[in-house]
Amino acid sequence: MAKLKIKGKDLRKIGLPDNKIIGMAIDAINRHFKHNKKEVVLETFEKLVKKPADFLENDALGKIAILLMPEEELAPTNQIPIAAEAKDYNIFGRDNIQASAILQMDNAMRLPVTEAGALMPDAHHGYGLPIGGVLATRDAIIPYAVGVDIGCRMALTIYDIPETYLKQHTYELKKTLTDYTRFGMGKELPFAQDHEVLDRNEFKEISFIKNLHGKARKQLGSSGSGNHFVEFGIAEMEENNKVGIPSGKYLAILSHSGSRGLGANIANHYTKLAREFCPLPKEVKHLAWLDLNSETGQEYWIAMNLAGDYASACHDRIHINLAKALGIKPIAKVENHHNFAWKEIHNGEELMVHRKGATPAGKDVLGIIPGSMTAPGFIVSGKGEPASLNSASHGAGRALSRTKAKNSTTNSAMKKMLKSEGIELIGGSLDESPIAYKDIHEVMKCQKQLVNIEGKFFPKIVRMDK
């Protein structure tokens, strides 16, 4: 395939400002779109120029979208006031959390619909609600407190196959990952996929979602860009673990991805509606909510759950395709959403609990908390801790932004690091270098009261977007 060539003049023609944004755009194209056709890339950037709000949480284009957002107009006369002071909430691992993330959580705790909240030890700055933020509201659901990648999910499948299999079949496992996974914007598998989620009535009954069915079918079984991955590795299980398998070391597959274009479109559509219905001060404008008792609020609730089930279906297809290609069968599976909202009872009251980059950790609820390419993930069971609203971290959390990570190392340095740890990487970029992440062991120390450790997962062959 010929190398993609897009110049500044091409971007100026579609309305991109002639300033540092042009440089940022070309950099984003070289990192995230180099395998796309020129007309597809230009069409994407044209949409970005027209509706930057639709791209605010896009891994590749979010920072450009922020710069393209129009200056705020005068506050509308019907603006909803927020409290002067934040309600109290618990912060786990405060010393390693950015001040800006804490400020975002403080602002979320000032909303009139907020009842409770908590901040996890992997927390870092996000849009609206910080990544690692947990927010409980009454009779309200906040699309941006769920996030754009609705139902982003971890899934771990364990096989009754010894760890020696991995070293003996490295080439075969790498080829299987290359053949049966796809990553990034607009990517889809080259063979047909099917799942019962595609037959759901929601695709027929909600007019907005009806138009997304074709995209959902095409992207089924694929993964997003950024920090999404599929890995072969070793699951090392503790004695008497709650997963219910004997202690020992097993071959395992771990995947991290979400609801693809379906979830992103749902998030952007209903966030726009929420901001129309719920005008808020500038510092919390992304936390506009929908009344759960309204038709639109109920419609978003239904659409969000569909997107979450679709994310789960994507993981199902990934794991089924890989296992079928290798001729292996699972003995256990552990999975959990983050970027979702649940109706839960807290202090005797039903609340809407948003977990944006946080893992459900109710009593004995199983989940996976990944580290990085060179650090183990943790298979956990929740302790049901009220102080965290039955939540835990969803990973190690970023220590460096994508730009800082890229500027802090080189490809050769990252390759040496991975080689020293015995990690095979397919795809990947400096944005996702292990140095970009907090120390997962420190993060786990900060949440001892939230989860029990049932086992660990050690990545060995990692597949990511290029």
pLDDT confidence of 71, banded at 50, 70, 90?
A: low
Which segment of 28-42, 90-104, 249-263, 365-379 scores lowest on mean pLDDT? 28-42
Confidence (pLDDT) at 443: 98
pLDDT digits (tens, 9 = 90+) for 183-195: 998 889 999 899 9
Query: pLDDT per residue over 145-175, tens digit each?
Result: 999 999 999 999 999 999 999 999 999 999 9
Residue 57 has pLDDT above 80, yes or no: no
Q: Return d(Cα 11, Cα 22) in angstroms, integer.
A: 7
User: What are the pLDDT digits (tens) for 189-242?
Assistant: 999 899 999 999 999 999 999 999 999 999 999 999 999 999 999 999 999 999
List, in sequence order, every beta strand (DSSP E) within 217-282.
229-237, 248-257
73 pLDDT band, cuts 50/70/90, is very low
The overall average pLDDT reported for the chain is 93
Element (H, E) at 355: strand 349-356
3-state secondary structure (DSSP) of residue 160: coil
Query: 334 pLDDT exceeds 80?
Result: yes
Residue 76 banded pLDDT, cuts 50, 70, 90: low
C-alpha span between 438 and 392 (Å, rounded): 15
Can you tell me the distance from the alpha carbon of 126 to that of 133, in angstroms, rounded to the nearest whole number? 9
Q: pLDDT band at 77, cuts 50/70/90?
A: low
Closest CA to 208 of 216, 218, 197: 216
Structural domains of the chain, with CATH: 8-68 (no CATH), 153-463 (3.90.1860.10)
